Amino acid sequence: MKISSQRCLLLLIFISIGLIFPSLSRHAAATESYAAIASDKNIPPPDTEEKTFSKPEHMFPLAEEVSGSKLQEQLDKYLSKRDWKLGFTKKGSYFGWGEAKINVQPNDLRFGQKRVLAYYKAFADAKGEYVRTKQRKTTSETIRKKFHDDREPSQADLVDQKSRLNLLGEKIMALSEAKLDKKLQEEGIDPSEFRNKSVKQKRLMAIDSINRSIAVKSVQSVAGVRIIATFEDLDSVGVLIVASDNLRAIAKAVSQGKTVGYPSKGDPKESILSQIESRAPEATDLAYMHGVRVMTDDNGDRALVAFGQWSPQITKNDSKMKQNMAIDAAREIAYDLADGSLTDFINSTVTLEQKSNIQGSDVIEKLIRSDSEESLESNKAGANIDKLIKQHGRTNLTGTTTVKRWTANHPETGHLIVGHILMWSPATRDAAAHKPERGYASTKGGQSKTRKYQNKVRQSADFEDDADF
């Protein structure tokens, strides 16, 4: 059955009316609804709210919310209480600070290890800053460029002089393109849709740029540099270090095998283990102890006490065999980290190499086509830094002994931590010469209960009653 053209036209008109009027009615309903909402004075128009949240103060991180700012506040309180300040003192001692981010969430399986690694990064940065402050070789370079050209382009600038080889290549391409066009036409496709646009060329009109590079290199002994305190929360770890003539003398005396009653013997104190347990009675208190402390032992001699710790990546869901193997490996690592801290204190050298580069440019270019021209503007700014801190140490000690091994859970996250405490003193050296039996005391911390993170700033135990700097 055939339908006349008039009937087809009427049918199309009716269909169009049916589609248009519902949309108009919906539009009217939406307009009335929006008007009703807009009449409510308590609800601001969308554009006002959008403008509010687009203000600059809402676009950038707030200084008080930047990770690590709480550590700085705690550091300032610690220094102010003792009337210390960062940098060199009148007596030649040096206080330095380093800070590093943990960069994983507290519920991440790697958090326990990442916080220990953050400590070593912060410690390295603090020593790198000390080395740079003592002596460094710095080179700098600044390149300033300014160019402007508003001349009209000559015909020679627009004509591309091609070699015979290039022309031959273009002919081959044209032949291939002709065959391809024929194939497209056979398939019912218009080849003109794929033809190249007009040839274009960019011409530099103006540039205003600055580039500045700073290269620093420093090599310095860090013997005697040690930690005073560490601070950490769930985001960052901070390390406060000290260097002084007295500490360097102690490190030198130990490296030469001499007695360490420097500068003179002090009054005998309790055993090193008793002193540690009095200042850090719980195993969780030791979770914030890293590096070397200089203490006075029960003979009145200076003793070097090194703290090392590691966290195995395990949970209660892992098999008992996997847990045991991971914990045993973590104990060995903690022992080695404590031993390495002794070497770092006694005889080590730090090399710092750092290069910073800042640059910015404003460029105006002209885009020239065969049929038109347009101006292009661009602004660029940025910086890059390349930093290398390398520490190398070597010692040959007699008489290092284990003071304590401990196991605990992180007080907030619950990650398992195992630790090892080593010490060296004239007494342990002399005892080692007679080959006594070595032993250790061990404690185990209880399981932490699951609770909401408080993200407190936690400080290492203070052993600075008889500070020797």
pLDDT interval class at 456 (50, 70, 90): confident
Q: Which letter, b or e, does each residue of 277-300 get, where b requires 16 or more Cβ atoms within 10 Å of its Cβ?
A: bebbeebbbbbbbbbbbbbbbbbe
Of 26-30, 60-64, 71-75, least confident by mean pLDDT is 26-30
Q: Rounded to whole angstroms, what are the CA distances from 302 to 298, 398, 422, 432?
A: 10, 16, 14, 17
Of 1-5, 58-62, 66-70, 319-323, least confident by mean pLDDT is 1-5
- Residue 263: asked if its preceding bond is cis (omega within 30°), the reply is yes
pLDDT interval class at 163 (50, 70, 90): low
Both tokens assigned to 218? 């420093």
For the chain, give every domain's residue range.
68-134+223-347+394-459, 136-150+199-221+350-392, 161-197
What per-residue confidence (pLDDT) applies to 441? 42
pLDDT interval class at 32 (50, 70, 90): low
What per-residue confidence (pLDDT) applies to 372? 76
What per-residue confidence (pLDDT) applies to 167? 60
The strand pairing partners of 210, in sequence order, are 144, 360
What per-residue confidence (pLDDT) applies to 445? 45
Residue 144 CA to residue 210 CA, distance in Å, equals: 5
Closest CA to 334 of 229, 418, 415: 418
Q: What integer is the mean pLDDT of 261-290? A: 83
Q: Using one digit for the tens of pLDDT, what is the confidence trace for 64-86?
A: 666 557 888 899 999 999 999 99
What per-residue confidence (pLDDT) applies to 106? 93
pLDDT interval class at 50 (50, 70, 90): low
Residue 403 CA to residue 272 CA, distance in Å, equals: 8
DSSP per-residue codes, 350-397? EEEEEEEEEEEEEEEEEEEESS-EEEEEEEEEEEEEEEEEEEEE----
pLDDT interval class at 14 (50, 70, 90): low
Checking if the pLDDT of 35 tops 60, the result is no
Residue 132 CA to residue 389 CA, distance in Å, equals: 11
What per-residue confidence (pLDDT) applies to 105? 93
Q: Using one digit for the tens of pLDDT, what is the confidence trace for 164-207?
A: 556 666 666 666 777 777 777 777 777 766 655 444 577 888 99
pLDDT interval class at 444 (50, 70, 90): very low
Could you tell me what percentage of the chain is helix, strand and coil, using 3-state DSSP and rounding each to the nearest 5?
40, 30, 30
What per-residue confidence (pLDDT) applies to 5? 52
Share of the chain above pLDDT 90, in %: 46
What per-residue confidence (pLDDT) applies to 381? 92
What per-residue confidence (pLDDT) applies to 204? 84
Q: What integer is the mean pLDDT of 128-134? A: 91
Of 116-125, 160-169, 217-226, least confident by mean pLDDT is 160-169
What per-residue confidence (pLDDT) applies to 123? 94
Both tokens assigned to 50? 């959008």
Share of the chain above pLDDT 70, in %: 70
Q: What integer is the mean pLDDT of 112-133? A: 94
pLDDT interval class at 447 (50, 70, 90): very low
Handedness of CA 24, 25, 30, 31 (dihedral sign): positive
Checking if the pLDDT of 39 tops 70, the result is no
Q: Using one digit for the tens of pLDDT, what is the confidence trace for 395-432?
A: 888 889 999 999 999 999 999 999 999 999 888 888 88
What per-residue confidence (pLDDT) applies to 403? 94
Give Rg (Cα) of the chain: 36
Residue 245 CA to residue 225 CA, distance in Å, equals: 10
Checking if the pLDDT of 40 tops 60, the result is no
Of 50-59, 345-354, 362-371, least confident by mean pLDDT is 50-59
Q: What integer is the mean pLDDT of 128-135? A: 90
Q: Specify the DSSP class assigned to residue 449.
A: P
What per-residue confidence (pLDDT) applies to 321? 96
Both tokens assigned to 189? 């496709």
What per-residue confidence (pLDDT) applies to 443? 42
Checking if the pLDDT of 267 tops 80, the result is no
